[in-house]
Amino acid sequence: MNPIRVGLVGVGKIARDQHIPALRANPAFVLAACASRRAREEGVENFHSVEAMLEHCPALDAVAICTPPQVHYEAAKLALEKGKHVLLEKPPCATTMQLDNLVRLAKGADRTLYQTWHSQHAPGVAPAARWLKDRKILGARVTWKENVRQWHPGQTWIWQAGGFGVLDPGINAISILTKIIHEPFFAESAHLFVASNHAAPIAADIVFRTAGGAEISAALDFRHTGVQTWDIDIDTDAGPIKLSAGGGVLTIGDKPVPPNPGALGSEYESIYARFAELIIRAQSDVDARPFQLVSDIFMVAKQSTVEPFED
């Protein structure tokens, strides 16, 4: 089979850190073009817009969308309408109904829509999901505390309406929860803290409740300058289990679990292996639950304004 020719939209931090290296390392793909308003990538055709890229590169097979979530939908829609397979970064869109329509468009066009959750590919997540399958969840705590100035430098979009604020990384924790907890859970209450100079929350305290009645609390904070923490602690009827480093490290009881020797190196290597497999099988992969849970958080939340934050 010929390599899948990919056009990448939005050459920013995640494109340069992860997508471009993962694409170039995978012989199933060739990075053929990029569309970005200002950025340029060496060795490929560059365009200032997704429209121009789709018009001048009709031979593209697929489009990877790495822009901020506010503009995911329009780019994905244009690509599907031109008959391209689409890989979408998280959070998938600005609203849940936009994602719903992309699913419909992909089905109608008979193209693959792969709506990714990169944290679900972290090496501790699959073994945690397997271990939890036969256990009862008694309670869980998510601690997702990071320094926004370190991890999202200059990303003004993250503070704007539709930018998700602290729920941009927070949705990663929720995507891990939906993967490892084998019963439905719901947003019960939330307190969002919004800096007076921004539209999207800088911190959030959230309570979810499982169908079985267990409480899952989540403390998210973008102002954290100490040890950066992306932890999920779960109490079960068979003892505690912990995912730390954003799902990268699994500890069952007090024993660290070594990574599965067959697991792929990075989250994005695994994502692109999955994208190739989906295209070959003519399938899509969309799991809207983390996105719906974030939408529900905004519905049940009370909000407080906190002091301005300069990023």
Which residues of this protein are in contact with ligand NAP, per CB under 6 A? Answer: 10-15, 36-39, 66-71, 89-90, 118, 151, 155, 157, 168
Q: How is residue 8 written in tokens?
A: 């990448």
At closest approach, how far in Å is the CB of 38 from ligand NAP? 4
Structure tokens given for 2: 């010929």
132 within 8 A of 281, measured Cβ to Cβ: no
CA distances from 44 to 36, 39, 108, 183, 195 (A): 12, 12, 30, 45, 40
Which sign does the torsion angle of CA 210, 216, 217, 221 carry?
negative
- Of 3 and 21, the one with the shorter C-beta distance to ligand NAP is 21
Of the pair 125, 234, the CB lying nearest ligand NAP is at 125
**Residue 92, Cβ density class (10 Å: 0-12 exposed, 13-18 middle, ≥19 buried):** buried
Shortest distance in whole angstroms from residue 273 CB to ligand NAP? 17
Q: Which DSSP symbol is given to 157?
A: G
How many other CB atoms are there within 10 angstroms of residue 215's CB atom? 15
Nearer to ligand NAP, 14 or 103 (CB): 14
Cβ closest to ligand NAP, residue 73 vs residue 309 = 73
Amino acid identity of residue 264, one-letter, is L
Q: Which residues contact 12 (CB under 8 A, 6 or more apart)?
A: 36, 39, 66, 67, 155
Query: Least distance (Å) from ligand NAP to the CB of residue 92?
Result: 9
List, by residue number, the catalytic residues. 90
Instruction: Compute the chain's Rg from CA coordinates.
Output: 19
Nearer to ligand NAP, 132 or 167 (CB): 167
Minimum CB–partner distance for residue 307 and ligand NAP (Å)? 25
What minimum distance in Å lies between the beta carbon of 126 and ligand NAP? 19
Name the closest residue to ligand NAP (Cβ): 12
